[in-house]
Amino acid sequence: MDHQPKFFENLSGTGKAIGVLTSGGDAQGMNAAVRAVVRMGIYVKAKVYFVYEGYQGMVDGGDNIVEVSWESVSSILQVGGTVIGSARCKSFRTREGRLQAAYNLVQRGITNLCVIGGDGSLTGANLFREEWSGLLEELAQKGKIDQEAVKKYAYLNIVGMVGSIDNDFCGTDMTIGTDSALHRIIEVVDAIMTTAQSHQRTFVLEVMGRHCGYLALVSALACGADWVFIPEYPPEEGWEDSMCVKLSENRARKKRLNIIIVAEGAIDCHNKPITSEKVKDLVVQRLGFDTRVTILGHVQRGGTPSAFDRILASRMGVEAVLALLEGTPDTPACVVSLSGNQAVRLPLMECVQMTQEVQKAMDEGRFVEAVRLRGRSFENNLNTYKLLSHKKPDAELPKTNFNVAVLNVGAPAAGMNAAVRAAVRVGITEGHKMFAVIDGFEGFSRGKIKEISWGDVGGWTGQGGSILGTKRTLPAKYLEKIADQMRTNNINALMVIGGFEAYLGLLELSAAREKYDEFCVPMVMVPATVSNNVPGSDFSIGADTALNTITDAYESCLQLHEARSRFEEFCVPICVLPATISNNVPGTDFSIGADTALNAIVETCDRIKQSASGTKRRVFIIETMGGYCGYLANMGALAAGADAAYIFEEQFDIRELQANVEHLTEKMKTSIQRGLVLRNENCNENYTTDFIYQLYSEEGKGVFDCRKNVLGHMQQGGAPSPFDRNFGTKISAKAMQWISKKLKETYRKGKVFANTDDSVCLLGMRRRNLVFQPVAELKNETDFVHRIPMEQWWLKLRPLMKILAKYKTSYDVSDSGQLEHVAMHSPKEAETGAI
Ligand code: ADP
Ligand code: ADP
């Protein structure tokens, strides 16, 4: 492997001209992509041109193709749709039209095109590239351009970005716009739920997606719908009966509302459309339920782009420019896309062909294959939905006699409840008895634990906060009592959903069991030692000190048989799911709740920025949460288009502050007269939010004025975002399946005995995969004093924020660059890695 970091400063766009256009259906986030392409293009000293109105503008030329400046794309990041216009263009489908388009580009010296659109638009782009030299020859023959131009502009580089709410494009896990569309759908579902509750109604909700069921499927997962119809998974023959039975059963359980989601392209197994009207008529005729149809339509394409879409589009836009700069006559047209959390480049035509294969498979009734072709993420969503929505009759469930407890630890985070729901339901499906612990480890020690059933967690996906109750208390103080409870309730496995405390908690538990079982050293007086030895006990630092103290105590104490056997209770499989808004848990790129918090921050920043639209020259200083972890500040800044983000991970000094103020002063001279600065709450002890506010106020006197906002607990509250609901649901389902496997592996002679490191794991998403990592191994990757992972992936995106805010910086692009191939994944891969 090549370990030489590659920096993009060496790439220059001098002399190059890049055209950017949006085509086909619009989608939220397209503007963010356009902004990133323009700014990155200008940053590398290329000329950048808007091509207005998609291919139509390219064919028409004239004012439709104009060179743009840095300021041309200011204040569009938060705007939905596409400001440069999109269109469907008939003439581009003809060679005549493309000839004209080629002429218009050559005239301006544009040989690099960045196309943001769906598979149609990208197919057109590819054709254009293939024909390019022929088109130039023809133009030369007709005397419209000279031979020199034919030579000079011999090659056309094409890079595509997929902008479409449908998420129907193979090769990328998410298309730009999908997440925002999910936001719109979930907002509507949440609103409908309250009215449906009041009237005992059934709602049939039709969502967009053309021939792709992604939006419908993920919405169904995110709101716990009763039934979902998607094209890739047509219901079995006789579905009318099964659906009605299910609906009436749910009503009999006093459930006051039913939600049925229908994808616009839904079909039955004979390829006949299933429409929302048809479903409604069925419910009314057979069951006589009060039933309403809501067709969401273009609402789904509207509104502001979500934080995720803005970040995705910004990342992809920058990557697209890099791909154009690195393009050679031999590289095929490519799309920049997302695999897990990784930006990748794929040959455009491979993706398009795979996408068309899906349609072919569906047309021919090969539905299992269609699902596989959609990709592992789609398949995983479908499997999770199937797992959670249908409870098998008790008689059909396996019986394992294992008891599994679920608890929340740390501060509440949106999506925790979805995770609990999934854990409980998957656990029950696997045949375990599920227990809920109230109020974290503290509640556990007090015996606040009870069995929880399938129905108890109904409707939990959309609820914010933690329904079980969560506490920051670590278990070390209560080891003995917790062990008691584990024994009394015969708990065979633990699932802990929470933030850094959850992780620390597990380290403590696993330390306890290691010492007692393997090394046979006792735990005399541990609780007392902990509390006496933690001076001042700042939570974060105290936790680590306590941990070391325990370890010291173990090593110096005598063997105590009694204690050891007491702590055998902890020799069970234990899994922690990262759930915290701060996203500071080691071993995972994302934690449950961070996306919701990020959206809250970004929405607020939008509002704050807008509040100044009449007032000129104002800079806002905004303080975000996160402890020492700068994730929220940094990513919030990227998504909100901020000028600076102060974080602990990248220390700054007075010179940097001064440079930032000067930068803003310069900016105020342009047409952009608003500034936004984010500051993480713990980024620096002395450069407090007040200090920065005062510094900016003083230095900006006469040029701009300042306002400050501390966002506070609004970041922890609110309804969970679609991503957090689904991420919580999916990783929790996966964790529970892992627990089942470990239970089987470690069950011997009538009891569960798991004492190895790999039975206490954290399930996290790393780059492209979900991985189980022993918490003990993660110790080496953790900065316990500041409660952050030593390496954080998003720091790599920090230069990106600076570039887009017009700072000169250095950007390590070693990760990108290789062209990969679209591969159909194996079913096994879908099981292990997908998210
Ligand atoms: P989407 O990009 O969202 O799939 P369309 O399929 O409508 O949307 O394509 C948008 C535009 O791309 C079309 O109006 C047309 O101008 C161009 N286009 C699509 N397919 C082709 C093709 N096979 N050849 C040339 N141009 C095409
Ligand atoms: P959520 O809204 O979280 O999905 P629901 O109450 O809608 O919760 O349950 C989803 C599905 O689970 C229902 O459609 C039903 O089939 C099944 N289900 C829920 N509770 C029970 C139960 N107590 N017994 C049998 N099936 C149940």
Q: For residue range 305-348, what is the model confidence (pLDDT) as tens digits?
A: 999 999 999 999 999 999 999 999 988 999 999 988 888 999 99
Q: Which two tokens stand for residue 507?
A: 């380290």
Single residue among 259, 279, 301 that ends a domain in this structure: 301
Residue 61 inside a domain? The answer is yes
Ligand 1: does its nearest atom lie under 6 Å from the Cβ of 57? Answer: no
pLDDT of residue 2: 46
- Within 6 A (CB) of ligand 2 lie 224, 226, 246, 250, 253, 255, 389-391, 421, 454-455, 458-461
Where does residue 109 fall: left (phi above 0), alpha (psi -120 to 50 degrees), or beta otherwise? left
* Nearest of 381, 401, 208 to residue 297 by alpha carbon: 208
pLDDT of residue 180: 97
Q: Buried (b) or exposed (e) across 121-134, using 16+ Cβ within 10 A?
A: bbbbbbbbbebbbe
Domain that holds residue 246: 179-301
pLDDT of residue 548: 37
pLDDT of residue 556: 21
> Cα separations (Å) of 208 from 24, 217, 375, 742?
15, 11, 19, 41
pLDDT of residue 5: 66
Residue 231 inside a domain? The answer is yes
pLDDT of residue 4: 64
Q: Which residue has the higher pLDDT, 753 or 596?
A: 596
Residue 829 inside a domain? The answer is no
Find the CATH number of the domain harbouring 187.
3.40.50.460
Q: Which two tokens stand for residue 563?
A: 């204690």
Mean pLDDT to the nearest integer, 805-820: 77
pLDDT of residue 8: 67
In this structure, are residues 563 and 524 in contact, taking their beta carbons and an 8 Å threshold? yes
CA distance 459 to 612: 40
pLDDT of residue 827: 43
List the residue whose alpha carbon is closest to atom 5 of ligand 1: 120
pLDDT of residue 535: 25
CA distance 213 to 699: 54
Secondary structure of residue 468 in the 3-state scheme:
coil
- Our mutation pick for probing the ligand 1 site, out of 116, 123, 168, counting the most ligand atoms within 8 A of Cβ, is 123
List the residue whose alpha carbon is closest to atom 6 of ligand 1: 120
**DSSP-derived secondary structure letter, 439:** S
Mean pLDDT to the nearest integer, 788-813: 89
Torsion over CA of 53, 57, 63 and 65, rounded to 10 degrees? 100
Domain co-membership, 68 together with 183: no
Q: Is the pLDDT of residue 834 over 70?
A: no
Q: Which two tokens stand for residue 13?
A: 């766009």
Mean pLDDT to the nearest integer, 467-480: 88
In this structure, are residues 222 and 311 in contact, taking their beta carbons and an 8 Å threshold? no
Domain co-membership, 195 together with 292: yes
Sign of CA dihedral 829, 776, 441, 682: negative
Q: Among this protein's residues, is 643 annotated catalytic?
A: no
Domain co-membership, 275 together with 417: no
Q: Which two tokens stand for residue 681?
A: 């709450």
Domain co-membership, 61 together with 22: yes
Residue 382 inside a domain? The answer is no
pLDDT of residue 752: 84
Mean pLDDT to the nearest integer, 211-219: 96
CA distance 383 to 385: 5
> Cα separations (Å) of 346 from 2, 350, 504, 821?
20, 8, 40, 6
In which band, very low, low, confident or very high, does the pLDDT at 798 lie, cut at 50, 70 and 90?
very high
Torsion over CA of 248, 252, 258 and 262, rounded to 10 degrees? -20
Domain co-membership, 530 together with 621: no
In which band, very low, low, confident or very high, does the pLDDT at 754 lie, cut at 50, 70 and 90?
confident
Where does residue 292 fall: left (phi above 0), alpha (psi -120 to 50 degrees), or beta otherwise? beta
Q: Which residue has the higher pLDDT, 18 or 823?
A: 18
CA distance 488 to 446: 12
Q: Which residue has the higher pLDDT, 562 or 330?
A: 330
pLDDT of residue 819: 74
The residue from 26, 60, 166, 173 that is catalytic is 166
**Centroid of ligand 1 to alpha carbon of 348 (angstroms):** 14
Q: Is the pLDDT of residue 558 over 50?
A: no
Find the CATH number of the domain harbouring 66.
3.40.50.450
CA distance 231 to 639: 33
pLDDT of residue 534: 23
Ligand nearest to the CA of 417: 2
Least reliable range by pLDDT among 294-298, 530-534, 628-632: 530-534
Domain co-membership, 622 together with 484: no
H-helix or E-strand containing 834? none
Count of H-run helices and E-run strands, the chain: 28, 27
CA distance 174 to 800: 20
Q: Which two tokens stand for residue 166?
A: 């449908």
CA angle (151 as vertex; 150, 154 as ends), nearest 5: 75
Q: Which of 474-483, 491-500, 613-622, 635-644 has the highest mean pLDDT?
A: 635-644
H-helix or E-strand containing 460? none
pLDDT of residue 46: 97
In this structure, are residues 172 and 350 in contact, taking their beta carbons and an 8 Å threshold? no
Q: Is the pLDDT of residue 758 over 90?
A: no
In this structure, are residues 46 and 14 in contact, taking their beta carbons and an 8 Å threshold? yes
CA distance 787 to 778: 12
pLDDT of residue 636: 97
Q: Is the pLDDT of residue 505 over 90?
A: no
Mean pLDDT to the nearest integer, 183-207: 89
Single residue among 695, 716, 737 that ends a domain in this structure: 716
CA distance 172 to 344: 9
Q: Is the pLDDT of residue 3 over 60?
A: no
Q: For residue range 86-111, what is the model confidence (pLDDT) as tens digits?
A: 999 999 999 999 999 999 999 999 99
Q: Is the pLDDT of residue 242 over 50?
A: yes
**Centroid of ligand 2 to alpha carbon of 120 (angstroms):** 40
Domain co-membership, 201 together with 170: no
Domain co-membership, 550 together with 416: yes
Ligand nearest to the CA of 93: 1
**Cβ atoms within 10 Å of 406's Cβ, excluding its own:** 28
CA distance 568 to 172: 46
Domain co-membership, 475 together with 577: yes
What's the chain's length in residues? Answer: 835
CA distance 498 to 17: 49
CA distance 146 to 103: 11
Domain co-membership, 431 together with 481: yes
Residue 287 inside a domain? The answer is yes
CA distance 438 to 445: 10
Could you write out the three-class secondary structure of 191-231? HHHHHHHHHCCEEEEEECCCCCCHHHHHHHHHHCCCEEECC
In which band, very low, low, confident or very high, does the pLDDT at 506 lie, cut at 50, 70 and 90?
confident
pTM for the structure as a whole: 0.89
pLDDT of residue 831: 43
Q: Which two tokens stand for residue 431?
A: 């045949």
CA distance 51 to 102: 13
Q: Alpha carbon 604 to chain centroid distance? A: 19
> Cα separations (Å) of 652 from 87, 276, 339, 388, 745?
46, 57, 33, 48, 50
pLDDT of residue 200: 85
Least reliable range by pLDDT among 169-183, 361-375, 439-453, 604-618: 604-618
pLDDT of residue 254: 74
Name residues whose C-beta falls within 8 Å of residue 81's C-beta, 6 or more positions apart in sequence: 26, 27, 28, 30, 31, 301, 302
Ligand nearest to the CA of 420: 2
Mean pLDDT to the nearest integer, 690-698: 97
Q: Alpha carbon 296 to chain centroid distance? A: 23
Q: For residue range 436-449, what is the model confidence (pLDDT) as tens digits?
A: 999 999 999 999 99
* Nearest of 539, 499, 494, 498 to residue 512 by alpha carbon: 494
Single residue among 784, 802, 827 that ends a domain in this structure: 784
CA distance 546 to 115: 56
pLDDT of residue 1: 41
- Does 57 belong to an annotated binding site? no
In this structure, are residues 211 and 302 in contact, taking their beta carbons and an 8 Å threshold? no
**Centroid of ligand 2 to alpha carbon of 455 (angstroms):** 6
Say if residue 272 is exposed, middle or buried (CB neighbours under 10 Å; 0-12, 13-18, 19+). exposed
Residue 799 inside a domain? The answer is no
Percent of the chain with pLDDT over 90: 70
Mean pLDDT to the nearest integer, 685-702: 96
Determine how β-strand 470-471 pairs with β-strand 157-162: unpaired
Mean pLDDT to the nearest integer, 599-611: 93
Q: Is the pLDDT of residue 115 over 60?
A: yes
Ligand 1: does its nearest atom lie under 6 Å from the Cβ of 119? Answer: yes
Mean pLDDT to the nearest integer, 66-85: 95
> Cα separations (Å) of 636 from 161, 336, 703, 800?
23, 23, 26, 13
Amino acid at 12: S
Q: Is the pLDDT of residue 271 over 80?
A: yes
Name residues whose C-beta falls within 8 Å of residue 750's C-beta, 6 or more positions apart in sequence: none
Q: Which residue has the higher pLDDT, 540 or 675?
A: 675
pLDDT of residue 514: 60
* Helix, strand, coil % over all residues of the chain, rounded to 5: 50, 15, 35
List the residue whose alpha carbon is closest to atom 8 of ligand 2: 458
Residue 490 inside a domain? The answer is yes
CA distance 720 to 187: 10
Q: Is the pLDDT of residue 68 over 60?
A: yes
Q: For residue range 375-395, what is the model confidence (pLDDT) as tens digits?
A: 888 999 999 999 988 788 889
The beta strand positions in 272-353, using DSSP E, are: 291-295, 334-339, 342-347
Q: Is the pLDDT of residue 833 over 60?
A: no
Q: Which residue has the higher pLDDT, 389 or 405?
A: 405
Determine how β-strand 705-710 pairs with β-strand 747-748: unpaired
Ligand 1: does its nearest atom lie under 6 Å from the Cβ of 127? Answer: yes
Percent of the chain with pLDDT over 70: 90
In which band, very low, low, confident or very high, does the pLDDT at 816 lie, cut at 50, 70 and 90?
low
Domain co-membership, 691 together with 758: no
Residue 795 inside a domain? The answer is no
Name residues whose C-beta falls within 8 Å of residue 317's C-beta, 6 or more positions apart in sequence: 32, 33, 34, 35, 36, 37, 40, 114, 161
- Does 583 belong to an annotated binding site? yes
Q: Is the pLDDT of residue 553 over 70?
A: no
pLDDT of residue 516: 40
pLDDT of residue 515: 54
Mean pLDDT of the chain: 87
25 CA closest ligand 1 atom index: 3
List the residue whose alpha carbon is closest to atom 9 of ligand 2: 458
CA distance 649 to 682: 10
Least reliable range by pLDDT among 517-526, 536-545, 804-813: 517-526
Count of structural domains within the chain: 4
Domain co-membership, 445 together with 318: no
Amino acid at 20: V
